[in-house]
Structure 1
Amino acid sequence: MRLIGSLTSPYVRKVRIVLAEKKLDYKLELEDVWAQPQDQATSPLGKVPCLVLEGGEVLQDSRVIVEYVDTLSPVGRLIPEKGRERAVVRTWEALSDGLLDAAILARLEATWPGRNDGQRSQAWIDRQLGKVRASVQTMSTSLGEQAWCCGLYLSLADIAAGCALQYLDFRFPEIDWRSRHPNLARLSDKLALRPSFQATEPPRA
């Protein structure tokens, strides 16, 4: 399998962590979606990640990819097969990805070189960051004092939440989510000790 993506994308990181936790081999092909035109055969939307399977089929979107990857190995099942537990895990993933969507929109509005300062909308940035803060609050309330987001073991919920929270550390250090939500900080710090998270930490340079 070939995974097309970047080292700084939190969505790509989520897929890489799932592949590592499932102990599956793949080849990472780096692609900067902003610096070069995309191969429309593999990425018609100009987004990463894309997973190219051995037969040439291409899977789009991190949520689709991780669901497929979880079926490839019985090692450490990350998504429950059915029922309420599955819905809860996927809801955590949707909330975490939604947080990332809002954070990335805010960052693009603030930093995209295609606009000058007079063209940027602070109201839009504030609206997106409001979604980020509301999502973090919901995650904190849902986690409570549990060791993991869902049940007694690591699941995709924890991986998705960890990628989202650590993206805030990476790109939005001014957001003081850790002191306000120490339960999420403990979860994030615990995840950061796992080899899969350590191997996929984005470069700081």
Structure 2
Amino acid sequence: MKLIGSSTSPYVRRIRILLDEERYDFVNLDIYGADRDEIRRANPALKIPVLENDGQEIYDSRIISRYISAKQGRDPLTWDQQNQLTLIDGANDSAVIMLLAKRSGLDVDTPGVLVFDLQRERIMTTMRTLAAQVEDGQFEHWNYPAMCLYCLVDWLEFRDLVHFAGIESLLAFRDSRKTKPWVAETDPRQS
């Protein structure tokens, strides 16, 4: 089994945590630099992660998680858990857009630019919803949605993309799970 990605990607990190003790090769790429051609060869959507196993290529973290969970004999996610993943992925996608825009030299902080206003709104509305779910105990079990939420919150703080005022329960959630398996080993700050 081979996982292609970047050690700083929250989408890749969640899969690395889910893989737990599974044996796999991790190909850590510089996805915006020298290794761009490798991404083109691995995935026509030009996204990471990519999982290769027994001749099968899987292109998206959500689909990869289903594949791995089935191999590990885990129960399928409930509809509520699927909705949680949709929220997490929506906030994550918007945050990636904001990060890439900043790295492209665009001013993402000035109000009135529709594309950036919409991303900020999506991120904060979603984060407030996720914080309420954390406070309601919906992420108590260390399952795939909790792993994804952990990776999102930690990555947002790592990249300094969100102010956590009013949603501090997300930081408390993250801090209470720092000792879970493969969390420390996949910390993007070690890259």
Unaligned runs of 5+ in 1: none
In the alignment, is the contact (CA less than 8 A) between 2:95 and 2:119 conserved in 1? Answer: yes
The residue identity in structure 1 corresponding to 2:180 is R
Which position in structure 2 is the counterpart of 1:47? 47
Equivalent in 124, 137, 153 of residue 128 of structure 2: 137
Q: Does 1:12 align with 2:12?
A: yes
Which position in structure 2 is the counterpart of 1:168? 156
Q: Secondary structure at the match of 2:188?
A: coil
Q: Distance in 1 between matches of 2:52 and 2:41?
A: 11
* Residue-pair matches, total: 186
Which position in structure 2 is the counterpart of 1:158? 146
Sequence identity of aligned pairs in percent? 24
In the alignment, is the contact (CA less than 8 A) between 2:39 and 2:47 conserved in 1? Answer: no
- The C-alpha deviation readout for 1:68-121, integer Å capped at 9, x for no partner, is 1011124xx3xx43xxx6111111111111111000101111112xxx558x78
In the alignment, is the contact (CA less than 8 A) between 1:38 and 1:46 conserved in 2? Answer: no
In the alignment, is the contact (CA less than 8 A) between 1:5 and 1:30 conserved in 2? Answer: yes
Q: For structure 1, which segment, 1-10 or 153-162, has the greater mean C-alpha deviation from structure 2 after superposition?
A: 153-162
Q: Does 1:183 align with 2:169?
A: yes
The TM-score normalised by the length of structure 2 is 0.87
What displacement does 1:37 show?
1.9
Q: For structure 1, which segment, 37-46 or 11-20, has the greater mean C-alpha deviation from structure 2 after superposition?
A: 37-46
Which position in structure 1 is the counterpart of 2:61? 62
The residue identity in structure 1 corresponding to 2:61 is S
Alignment of 1:41-120 (within 5 A): 41-53=41-53, 55-74=54-73, 77=74, 80-81=75-76, 86-112=78-104, 116-117=105-106
Which position in structure 2 is the counterpart of 1:34? 32
